[in-house]
Amino acid sequence: MNNRSLDKFRLKNCAEPLVDLVVQAGQKEAVRRLARPLRFLILALCVFFSPFGFAQPTKLTLSEVVQMARDQSISARQAATTKETKYWEYRTFLSNYKPQLTLSGNLPAFSRSFIEVRQPDGTIQFQPVRNNNSSLNLSLSQSIAATGGSIYATSQLQRFDDFDRKNTLYNGTPFAVGYLQPLLRFNSFKWDKRIEPLKFNESQQTYVESLEQISLRASGLFFDLLLAQVNLQIAETNLINTQSILKVADEKYALGKNTRNEILQLQLELLKARKAVGVSKRDLEMASLNLKAYIGLQAEGKIELETPDQPVALALSSERAIGEAFANRADAIAFGRRTLEAERAVAKAKGDNGLNATLTGTLGFSNRGITVPELYRRPQDQQTVELQLDIPILDWGRSKSRTKTAQAQRQLTQYAVEQDKQNFQQEIYTQVTLFEMLRDQLSLTVQADSIASEKYRIAQDRYVLGNLSITDLSISFTEKDQAKRDYIYALRDYWGAYYKLRQLTLYDFETESKLK
């Protein structure tokens, strides 16, 4: 049952007993006829005076806020869209290694012009030409990653129409198979097959890291609002306590038991307390709007956050955290991917600098005729073998320079990867140490908060009895408030470090499971 349905249910239960009571009290028929309008009147009064009303505050825990941000925030949708984009990019890569069926052609290919025709005596004549030279080609090809070549099968049909002479001819290749193989050249298929799966896996882990970054951000906004909520509670409590103490001080002043200076000091404290309430309400509203906007909460009204419980003790070690990070993080995959890309650049520089050759061979059948069926009657054998060469003879050291540049860049990449690995490990080690320190600090702030609250209660009682000065009471005020805020700050630091550790390792140490 949602909040609105729950409110209607409560209001109905509020109105119905009152209406029944009026109907039972009045035995006249007129009262019974007025029962329905009376019910609506009482229902409206219940709405007006109801403590719960339709604007019931939304109560949320830290885990609920984090989950809402992961499910429905704009950042989560952006991360999901990026993940989907990388998925289709990977599917595009995989399609390069699948058979490709292609239909190409020129339909029509009409031409009407004057062409140059050399005569037997060496002169030039321009003869009018009107023809249509159409063609269709159906081919099936398959790339071979190991060699970088491709095997293909093809079927071709060509039609030539001479409109001046009213003549039609057909030429075609019913069937032919061939193989194209680059020689001593860079094989992009082989390198892509090693690198693209790493890029895809990297994108999947990047998505998980993005969700953990969202969790970290949501937890920060949660504690911003929780701190504003606590500050408002402190300010309102201090306002009530200051008013009570000022009342007691006025009575004592009337009896001559304290000075005018103490009254003025309390009046000043009362003004500060009222100002603090106003500032806290403003901060609460701003923090609430920021949290709602980030987690995509459309509910109206106030949000009430529940203070997280004391966290359970987690068994952590730097070695284990670093191991999980290398097994799960996108950066760990990127280390290998960057090294392979540098190796690919060197291989490409070497492959493009030397002898470049392409061998093409085709075996099939071909024929010609004045009709299409004649092409398939006793076709003639067709064989083609072609070797294309590209040999640089004099390039003034360009080939060597490109190779040396790629090798130097590879060495630089290796150094950068080694440095990034060290930073990677150091960051996790520092985070584990920080997490354990903040866990201990949280335990101390819990004790400090309890002591400060008890000290304030004692100071308040002593002041009423006349055993404590207003200055000492103000100090107790300040210590109590600061201890409460320190506790919320300690909770925030702890949970921030917890979600940061999850992001750095992509591992949940509480459930002992890999994050997905």
DSSP notation for 371-409 = STGGGGSSPEEEEEEEEEEE--S--TTHHHHHHHHHHHH
Task: Kindly report, residue by residue over 206-220, the tens digit of the pLDDT.
Answer: 999 999 999 999 999
Beta carbons of 142 and 168 less than 8 angstroms apart: no
Give the model's pLDDT for residue 55: 53
Same domain, 301 and 239: yes
Task: Kindly report, residue by residue over 262-292, the tens digit of the pLDDT.
Answer: 788 888 888 988 998 999 999 999 999 999 9
208: in domain: yes
Q: How far apart, in Å, are the Cα atoms of 170 and each of 138, 158, 159, 162, 363?
A: 16, 6, 5, 12, 20
pLDDT at position 345 over 50:
yes
The one-letter amino acid at 380: Q
d(CA 44, CA 120): 111
Give the model's pLDDT for residue 470: 67
Give the model's pLDDT for residue 359: 92
Query: How much of the chain, in percent, has pLDDT values that exceed 70?
Result: 89
What pLDDT band is residue 17 in, cutting at 50, 70 and 90? Answer: very low
Same domain, 33 and 105: no
In the chain, the number of structural domains is 3
d(CA 432, CA 317): 7
Strand ranges, E, within 120-249:
124-143, 150-162, 167-183
Quick one: three-class SS letters along 190-203? HHHHHHHHHHHHHH
Same domain, 274 and 320: yes
400: in domain: no
Mean pLDDT of 87-101: 94
**46 vs 511, more confident:** 511
Same domain, 64 and 51: no
What pLDDT band is residue 372 in, cutting at 50, 70 and 90? Answer: confident
Same domain, 31 and 73: no
Give the model's pLDDT for residue 458: 87
Beta carbons of 79 and 207 less than 8 angstroms apart: yes
DSSP 57: P
d(CA 336, CA 417): 9
346: in domain: no
pLDDT at position 35 over 80:
no
Task: Kindly report, residue by residue over 221-267, the tens digit of the pLDDT.
Answer: 999 999 999 999 889 988 888 888 788 878 877 877 777 887 888 88
Give the model's pLDDT for residue 9: 36
What pLDDT band is residue 49 in, cutting at 50, 70 and 90? Answer: very low
pLDDT at position 10 over 60:
no
**470 vs 44, more confident:** 470
pTM of the full structure:
0.78
169: in domain: yes
H or E element at residue 74? helix 74-95
Beta carbons of 316 and 435 less than 8 angstroms apart: yes
Same domain, 202 and 310: yes
484: in domain: yes
Query: How much of the chain, in percent, has pLDDT values that exceed 90?
Result: 50
Give the model's pLDDT for residue 31: 40
> With DSSP H G I counted as helix, E B as strand and the rest as coil, what are the percentages for the chain, rounded to 5?
60, 20, 20
Task: Name the least confident of 46-60, 375-389, 403-417.
Answer: 46-60
Same domain, 381 and 441: no
What pLDDT band is residue 23 in, cutting at 50, 70 and 90? Answer: very low
* DSSP string computed for 417-446: HHHHHHHHHHHHHHHHHHHHHHHHHHHHHH
396: in domain: no
Same domain, 260 and 362: no
d(CA 464, CA 473): 10
Mean pLDDT of 393-409: 89
398: in domain: no
pLDDT at position 299 over 80:
no
Residues forming beta bridges with residue 508, ordered by sequence position? 513
Whichever domain contains 431, its CATH number is 1.20.1600.10
Q: How far apart, in Å, are the Cα atoms of 289 and each of 124, 294, 300, 471?
A: 86, 9, 10, 38
93: in domain: no
Same domain, 260 and 291: yes
* DSSP string computed for 332-350: HHHHHHHHHHHHHHHHHHH
Same domain, 287 and 426: yes
What pLDDT band is residue 185 in, cutting at 50, 70 and 90? Answer: confident
* Domain that residue 43 falls in: 3-56
* DSSP string computed for 291-344: HHHHHT----S-EEEPPPPPPPP----HHHHHHHHHHH-HHHHHHHHHHHHHHH
- Count of H helices and E strands in the chain? 11, 11
Q: What average pLDDT does the chain have?
A: 85
Same domain, 298 and 421: yes
d(CA 12, CA 207): 48
d(CA 226, CA 302): 12
Same domain, 28 and 129: no
Angle (CA) 500 442 215, round 5°:
25
What pLDDT band is residue 53 in, cutting at 50, 70 and 90? Answer: very low
Task: Name the least confident of 40-54, 88-102, 127-141, 393-407.
Answer: 40-54
Cis amide bond preceding 373, omega within 30: no
pLDDT at position 44 over 50:
no
Task: Kindly report, residue by residue over 130-181, the tens digit of the pLDDT.
Answer: 999 999 999 999 999 889 999 999 999 999 998 888 899 999 999 999 999 9
What pLDDT band is residue 13 in, cutting at 50, 70 and 90? Answer: very low
Structure tokens at 372: 């299409």
